[in-house]
Homo-oligomer: A and B are copies of this chain.
Amino acid sequence: MGELKGACIVGQSGGPTSVINASVYGVIDTALKNPNITKVFGAEHGIKGVLNDRLFDMGEEDPAELELLKYTPSSALGSCRYKIADPDVDDTDYKRILEVFKKHDVRYFFYNGGNDSMDTCNKISKYMQKVGYECRVMGVPKTIDNDLFGTDHCPGFASAAKYIATSCMEVYQDARVYDTGMVCIVEIMGRHAGWLAGAASLATAFGAGPDLIYLPEVDFDMDQFLADVDRIYKEKGNCMVAVSEGIHYADGSFVSEAKTSATDGFGHAQLGGLAATLANIVKEKTGAKVRGIELSLLQRCGAHLASETDIEESYMSGKAAVENAVNGITDKMVGFECTRENGEYVCKTKLLNLTDVANTEKKVPLEWINAAHNGIEQSFVDYALPLIQGEPKLPKESSLPRFAKLKKVLAK
Contact A178 B391 (CB under 8 A): no
Measured between beta carbons, the chain B residues less than 8 angstroms from A342 are none
A282-300 contact mask (Cβ, 8 Å, vs B): 1 or 0 = 0000000011111111101
Bound form: Cα–Cα A52–B35 in Å = 76
A168-202 contact mask (Cβ, 8 Å, vs B): 1 or 0 = 01110111011110001000000000000000001
Contact B389 A177 (CB under 8 A): no
Whether A73 sits at the interface, judged by CB under 8 Å, is yes
Whether A227 sits at the interface, judged by CB under 8 Å, is no
Which A253-273 residues have C-beta < 8 A from chain B? 262-266, 268, 271, 273
Contact A298 B297 (CB under 8 A): no
Contact B304 A170 (CB under 8 A): yes
Contact B291 A296 (CB under 8 A): yes
Of listed A81, A262, A400, residue having the most chain B CB within 10 A: A400
Whether A332 sits at the interface, judged by CB under 8 Å, is no
Contact A401 B166 (CB under 8 A): yes
Contact A171 B389 (CB under 8 A): no
Of listed A48, A268, A390, residue having the most chain B CB within 10 A: A268
Whether A305 sits at the interface, judged by CB under 8 Å, is yes
Bound form: Cα–Cα A170–B401 in Å = 9
Contact A303 B403 (CB under 8 A): no
Chain B nearest CB from A407 CB (Å) reads 15
Chain B nearest CB from A73 CB (Å) reads 5
Contact A401 B169 (CB under 8 A): yes
Bound form: Cα–Cα A169–B297 in Å = 12
From B271, B305, B398, contact of A389 by CB (8 A):
B398
In the complex where A166-B304, A178-B80, A398-B385 touch, is A276 in contact with B280 (Cβ < 8 A)?
no
Measured between beta carbons, the chain B residues less than 8 angstroms from A175 are 297
Contact A399 B173 (CB under 8 A): no
Bound form: Cα–Cα A134–B179 in Å = 30
Residue of B nearest to A16 (CB): B177
In the complex where A263-B266, A279-B271 touch, is A305 in contact with B307 (Cβ < 8 A)?
no
Residue of B nearest to A170 (CB): B301
Which A71-112 residues have C-beta < 8 A from chain B? 72-75, 78-81
Contact A297 B291 (CB under 8 A): yes
Measured between beta carbons, the chain B residues less than 8 angstroms from A178 are 45, 78-81
Whether A208 sits at the interface, judged by CB under 8 Å, is yes
A384-412 contact mask (Cβ, 8 Å, vs B): 1 or 0 = 01001111000011111101000000000
In the complex where A271-B276, A276-B273 touch, is A80 in contact with B170 (Cβ < 8 A)?
no
Contact A271 B297 (CB under 8 A): no
Whether A39 sits at the interface, judged by CB under 8 Å, is no
Residue of B nearest to A305 (CB): B304
Whether A364 sits at the interface, judged by CB under 8 Å, is no
From B81, B265, B291, B300, contact of A265 by CB (8 A):
B265
Chain B nearest CB from A315 CB (Å) reads 18
Bound form: Cα–Cα A74–B173 in Å = 6
Measured between beta carbons, the chain B residues less than 8 angstroms from A398 are 206, 385, 388-389
From B48, B296, B303, B396, contact of A391 by CB (8 A):
B396
Contact B177 A79 (CB under 8 A): yes
Measured between beta carbons, the chain B residues less than 8 angstroms from A48 are 179
From B171, B179, B276, contact of A301 by CB (8 A):
B171
* 6 A-B pairs with least C-beta separation: A74-B173, A174-B301, A170-B301, A74-B174, A45-B179, A266-B266
Q: List 17 A-B contacts (CB under 8 A).
A: A73-B170, A74-B170, A74-B177, A80-B179, A81-B180, A174-B300, A262-B266, A265-B266, A266-B266, A271-B279, A271-B280, A276-B276, A293-B294, A294-B294, A389-B398, A389-B399, A391-B399
